[in-house]
Chains A and B, each alone.
Chain A
Amino acid sequence: MTSYGGYQRTGYGAQGGDEGGGFMSGSQQGSQGQSKRSTIDEYLRPVTIKQILDAKASYSESEIAIDGFPISTVTLVGQVRSVNPQTTNITYKIDDGTGGTIDVKKWVDLEKSESGTETPFSLDTWVRVLGRLTSFNGKIHVGAHHVRVIDDYNEVSYHLLEATYVHLCISKGLPGGPWPQKEGAAVGGGGDSDSMFIDSGNGYGGDSAATNARVASCSRQAKSLYQFMQSDPRSIEGINIADVMATSGMSKRDVLAAADELLGNGIVYTTVDDETWAILET
């Protein structure tokens, strides 16, 4: 569940500021259109090679769009089909089985190449590429920031699923429903809190918009935990995991995962022991 956090960010941002509450980038984009370019740059999108090749059709001026979304920084996986070393760069043709190959240019780091560390990848190895889509003479290639060998084939499977997930988030909205219509969080918090507490079944309602904003980027479990702690007056000296489990009906694993996420975001802190938390007041 925790790992969803990252996706949601991608989803929102890419949706160009649909959401109202948590994200600075979203609201900025709404108010000042000229910063579009830099906003795009913030998002790293996992894609398949077919998506890039198809993007050609909708390409106009300097903008490359996938699912109707301008995009520049991408991550992709593929097998090396050809290597073409030149003085300033190495051009790889990369194939992930989804439809042809794409050129990936990795610029040679002069300092490194003097010490001889830059060796091209061998044919047929799976690599992970992180780079920027560039269009030149109507042909798209990837200017690679980073290319590395994939040791574990499961990363390939993972990447393809992730690319699908992000595609679906952007074209159909996020699963579970509460986040795509994000106005709720900023306007009233009503819609958001409703959906949030179906799971915990306790109906802690009445959260303010401000509270939601603080945990807007967190998973549903983390939100539930935060909500629960807020509603409990003992939260000053901290609430023990046993109390949370007893009252909210969340499983130990869920509570720990949620607490971990809140800790990571600096929203709560541990008090008497590792399993007792209090909200960090702002």
Chain B
Amino acid sequence: METSTPRVTCPYLNSYVGKNVMVVGKVAQIRGEDAIIDADGNISCKLNRDAHLVPGNGVQVIGKVNPDLSLKVLSSLDLGTSVDYNLANTVVEISHQHKGLFAYE
């Protein structure tokens, strides 16, 4: 019943293939239904219909990691322009160091 959506950045993706994850990053590019999100590296995302991404803004996406390490977006949330990406990346690092607080295996 308990389902975590672990916070990850680009370098962590290959450990989460087939799982749902949460990514906080900057929208680098949008092309139709594809987008590139920069979260300590570029992640390509397949957007869903109701995704409203703004280039240059921060975004939080929850999605499933495909075998090719792209992300199938299930939900997205615009975070505006004032996101501290270093801080967000630090949270990812910390959450992997202390999984007891952040994720079910």
Task: Give residues in A with beta carbon < 8 Å to B.
Answer: 48, 50-51, 53-54, 79, 97-100, 124, 126, 152-154, 157-158, 160-161, 163-164, 167-168
7 closest Cβ pairs, A-B complex: A100-B2, A153-B79, A99-B4, A97-B5, A99-B2, A157-B87, A157-B91
B75 and A124 contact, CB distance less than 8 A? yes
Chain A nearest CB, measured from B25 CB (Å): 12
Whether A98 contacts B4 in the complex (CB less than 8 A), given A124-B77, A160-B94, A163-B101, comes out as yes
Enumerate chain A residues within 8 angstroms of B3, measured Cβ to Cβ.
99-100
Task: Out of B6, B84, B88, B100, name the residue touching A97 (CB < 8 Å).
Answer: B6
How far, in whole Å, are A12 and B4 apart by their CA atoms in the complex?
31
B101 and A154 contact, CB distance less than 8 A? no
How far, in whole Å, are A197 and B29 apart by their CA atoms in the complex?
52
Chain B interface, number of residues (Cβ within 8 angstroms): 31
User: Is the C-beta of B90 less than 8 angstroms from some C-beta in chain A?
Assistant: yes
How far, in whole Å, are A126 and B80 apart by their CA atoms in the complex?
13
User: Is the C-beta of B98 less than 8 angstroms from some C-beta in chain A?
Assistant: yes
A97 and B91 contact, CB distance less than 8 A? no
Tally inter-chain residue pairs, CB-CB below 8 A: 74
Chain B nearest CB, measured from A219 CB (Å): 22
Enumerate chain B residues within 8 angstroms of A54, measured Cβ to Cβ.
100
Whether A161 contacts B90 in the complex (CB less than 8 A), given A100-B3, A153-B83, A154-B83, comes out as yes
Chain B nearest CB, measured from A26 CB (Å): 26
Q: List B58-73 residues whose CB lies under 8 Å from chain A.
A: 58, 60, 62
Closest B residue to A153 by beta carbon equals B79
How far, in whole Å, are A99 and B7 apart by their CA atoms in the complex?
11
User: Is the C-beta of B47 less than 8 angstroms from some C-beta in chain A?
Assistant: no
Enumerate chain A residues within 8 angstroms of B83, measured Cβ to Cβ.
153-154
Enumerate chain B residues within 8 angstroms of A97, measured Cβ to Cβ.
4-7, 22, 62, 102
How far, in whole Å, are A76 and B101 apart by their CA atoms in the complex?
13
Enumerate chain A residues within 8 angstroms of B84, measured Cβ to Cβ.
154, 157
Q: List B35-89 residues whose CB lies under 8 Å from chain A.
A: 58, 60, 62, 75, 77, 79-80, 82-84, 87-88
Whether A50 contacts B82 in the complex (CB less than 8 A), given A97-B5, A97-B7, A153-B24, comes out as no
Whether A100 contacts B1 in the complex (CB less than 8 A), given A153-B79, A161-B90, comes out as yes
Enumerate chain A residues within 8 angstroms of B79, measured Cβ to Cβ.
153
Enumerate chain B residues within 8 angstroms of A158, measured Cβ to Cβ.
87
Enumerate chain A residues within 8 angstroms of B100, measured Cβ to Cβ.
50, 54
Chain B nearest CB, measured from A60 CB (Å): 20
Closest A residue to B102 by beta carbon equals A98
Chain A nearest CB, measured from B1 CB (Å): 6
Chain A nearest CB, measured from B74 CB (Å): 12
Closest A residue to B77 by beta carbon equals A124
Chain B nearest CB, measured from A164 CB (Å): 5
Known: A50-B104, A157-B90, A164-B98. 13 other contacts (CB 8 A): A50-B100, A54-B100, A97-B6, A98-B4, A98-B101, A98-B102, A100-B3, A124-B75, A153-B58, A153-B79, A153-B82, A160-B102, A163-B101
Enumerate chain B residues within 8 angstroms of A99, measured Cβ to Cβ.
2-4, 102-104
Closest A residue to B82 by beta carbon equals A152
Chain A nearest CB, measured from B76 CB (Å): 9
Closest A residue to B7 by beta carbon equals A97
Chain A nearest CB, measured from B104 CB (Å): 5
13 A-B Cβ contacts within 8 A?
A50-B101, A50-B103, A53-B2, A97-B4, A97-B102, A98-B4, A98-B102, A98-B103, A99-B4, A124-B75, A157-B84, A157-B90, A160-B95
